[in-house]
Amino acid sequence: MEFQLPARLSLANLPTPIQRLERTSERVGRELWIKRDDCTGLELSGNKIRKLEFALAQAMAQGCDVIITTGGIQSNHCRATAAACARLGLGCELVLASDEKTEPDGNYLLDELLGARIRFIPFTDYRSRLAEVLEEVKAELAQRGQRGYIIPVGASNGIGTWGYFEAMREIHGQEEAMGATFDAVVCAVGSGGTYAGLALANAALGLGKRVIGVPIAADAATFREQILGIREEFSLISAPVELDASDIILLDGYVGRGYALSTAEELSFLKDFARTEGIILDPVYTGKAMRGLLSELEAENPLLAGLERVLFIHTGGIFGLFPKRHQF
Ligand X SMILES: *Cc1c(COP(=O)(O)O)cnc(C)c1O
**CB closer to ligand X out of 225 and 308:** 225
**CB closer to ligand X out of 39 and 65:** 39
CA–CA separation, 207 and 189 (whole Å): 21
Q: How many helices (DSSP H) and strands (DSSP E) are in the chain?
A: 11, 10
Q: How far apart are the first and last CA of the chain?
A: 48
CA–CA separation, 236 and 72 (whole Å): 29
**CB closer to ligand X out of 58 and 81:** 81
CA distances from 128 to 17, 73, 104, 119, 140 (A): 40, 17, 26, 17, 20
CB within 8 A of 196, min separation 6: which ones?
156, 161, 164, 227, 230, 231, 234
Min dist. Cβ of residue 212 to ligand X (A): 13
Q: By beta-carbon distance, which residue lies closest to ligand X? A: 317
The CB-based long-range contact list for 16-25 (8 Å cut-off, 24+ gap) reads 16/40, 16/170, 18/171, 18/174, 18/178, 18/311, 21/277, 21/279, 21/312, 22/277, 23/276, 23/277, 24/273, 24/276, 24/277, 24/294
**CB closer to ligand X out of 76 and 81:** 76
Min dist. Cβ of residue 215 to ligand X (A): 9
Give the bridge partners for 188, in sequence order. Answer: 214
What letter would DSSP give residue 280? P
> Distance of alpha carbon 278 from its chain centroid, rounded?
22
Which helix (H) or strand (E) covers residue 232, if one does? helix 220-234
**CB closer to ligand X out of 141 and 243:** 243
**CB closer to ligand X out of 6 and 146:** 6
CB 161 within 8 A of CB 196: yes
Min dist. Cβ of residue 200 to ligand X (A): 13
Min dist. Cβ of residue 301 to ligand X (A): 21
> In a 3-state reduction of DSSP, which class is residue 25?
helix
Q: Give yes or no: 75 in active site.
A: yes
Min dist. Cβ of residue 313 to ligand X (A): 8
**CB closer to ligand X out of 74 and 174:** 74
Q: How crowded is residue 113: how many other Cβ atoms within 10 Å of its Cβ?
A: 14
Residues in touch with ligand X (CB under 6 A): 46-48, 76-77, 154, 156, 188-195, 282, 285-286, 315-317
Min dist. Cβ of residue 160 to ligand X (A): 8
Min dist. Cβ of residue 106 to ligand X (A): 12
Catalytic residue among 25, 45, 75, 156: 75
Active site residues: 75
